[in-house]
Every structure is written in C-alpha cells, then in structure tokens.
Amino acid sequence: MRRIPTAVLISGRGSNMAALLEAAADPSFPADIRLVLSNRPGASGLERAAGFGVATQVIDHRSFSDRAGFDAALDQALTTAGIQLVALAGFMRLLTPDFTRRWTGRMINIHPSLLPAFKGVHVHQQALAAGVRLSGCTVHFVSPEMDSGAIIGQAAVPVHPDDNADRLAARILAMEHLLYPAALALVANGQARLIDGRTAFAAGAWRAVTLTADLDG
C-alpha cells in the first residue's frame, strides 16, 4: 500500500497531532506523517512529536513581515519534504488564499463545533450562549474562507445543562481524537475527495466519519 506523505501543522499542545501520530504508527494507516511543523517555537506539541520520532520544524511567523512571506516559506518546507497532504491541528494562523488554493483538496482542518455553527474563536462560549443541545467537532477541507470548506466528518456530543466551556471543550476534544484520524485516513486513501466544492465519498465511507457520543459521557 502506498502511504501518502503527510504533514501536521500545529501551534500549541498538539493533542490532535498526537492522536494522528498514534493512528499513523500502524503501518496499514494510509497517511505517513513525516513532518510536524509549528509556527510557534514554544509549542509543547513539538516535544510530543519528537517523542514519536517524527521530524519537527519551526517556521516562526514573527520572522516574516507579511502573511505571504510566511506562507511561501511554509509551502517550500512542505514541498522540500515531499508532502502531499496537510492536516491542520490547532494551527492558529490564517493562511493566504493563494496558499489555500495551492493545497485545495490536499489540506484538512479540525474545528471544535458542528460547522457551519460557531466559526472562529471562543467556540464553546458561543455554543453555550446559543443554548444548543448538541455541539461537536468537524473535519473539513480547507478553503480560503475560514472554517467554511467542504465538510468531511462530524462528531456530535450533548451539551449538558450545567456545562461550562472547559467541560464542553473536554467532551468535544475526546471525540476530536477519534474523528480526526478517521477523516485523515479517508482523505489519504481516496475514499473522501473534494469534488466541485463538496466531499464525495466511496460507498459507505461516510459512516467512519459520522460519530455520536453517548448522552451521559
């Protein structure tokens, strides 16, 4: 089986990155994670990645005067490493439309809400303020507009009446760690593809990325 050379981009603790690396430790996983790249030198996920024996690289966005310069350096690093698929995992930089277009259909992201609800930041506070009974997480193809690309998979979790943002975040994060490896696998093995702005699935493949948590979990 051909494994797709993949990079994970982080800015922080990297728990989703770790979930992806754990999945990719299985030689039958279709993505070969060869590089973890951070825009922040202090990201704790870098040490975690090194613990998995994966190459790490820092491209500090503060060394660039504009987004285009940073994105060009990022693109070069990915190309040099032979990367064909990119997974954003808590990567807190907006990417330029040019970069995003270059990686169309080959770059995915995880967001901790059921998109299209609650884009951007302070997502769990947004969900609690709206009074929704279900929230969750979404893996999507990255498009130039933030948190708006074609949805690949979602996991729903209940919002409990006594939740605060931290409790809700933790319940969703546990599902992120299941959903993201499943979604990356489908993209890497071609069972989920971006076609005309929508995700097209091989027969039955959507089931692997349509998850629901227990009500009392």
Residue 88 vs 185, nearer CB to ligand GRF: 88
For residues 41 and 13, is the Cβ–Cβ distance under 8 A?
no
Compute the distance between CA of residue 98 and CA of residue 87 in angstroms, rounded to an integer.
17
By CB under 6 A, tell whether 100 contacts ligand GRF: no
Is residue 14 part of the contact set for ligand GRF (CB under 6 A)?
yes
Q: Which of 209, 81, 78, 75 is nearest to 141 (CA)?
A: 209
The residue length of the chain stands at 217
Interface size with ligand GRF, residues (CB under 6 A) = 16
| Nearest in space to 112 (alpha carbons), one of 139, 143, 146 | 139
Contact call for residue 138 and ligand GRF (CB under 6 A): no
Cβ atoms of 139 and 147 within 8 Å: the answer is: no
Binding residue for ligand GRF, selected from 34, 40, 111, 124, defined by CB under 6 A? 111
Among 30, 112, 136, 181, binds ligand GRF (CB under 6 A): 112
Which of 165, 125, 123, 177 is closest to 14 using CA atoms? Answer: 177
**Smallest distance from the beta carbon of 110 to ligand GRF, in angstroms?**
4
Contact call for residue 110 and ligand GRF (CB under 6 A):
yes
Residue 124 annotated to the active site: no
Span interacting with ligand GRF, options 10-18, 27-35, 159-167, 197-205, rule CB under 6 A? 10-18
Binding of ligand GRF at residue 39 (CB under 6 A)?
Answer: no
Given the DSSP bridges, would you call strands 85-88 and 4-10 parallel, antiparallel or unpaired? parallel
Does residue 30 touch ligand GRF according to CB under 6 A? no
Of the candidates 111, 124, 140, 177, the residue annotated as catalytic is 111
Task: Return phi, psi of residue 141, to 5°.
Answer: -70, 145
Q: Does residue 114 bind ligand GRF (CB under 6 A)? A: no
Structure tokens at 186: 């489908």
Residue 162 to residue 94: CA distance in whole angstroms: 33
Q: Assess 136 for contact with ligand GRF (CB under 6 A).
A: no
Residues near ligand GRF (CB under 6 A) are 10, 12-17, 45, 89-90, 110-112, 137, 173, 176
Positions marked catalytic: 111
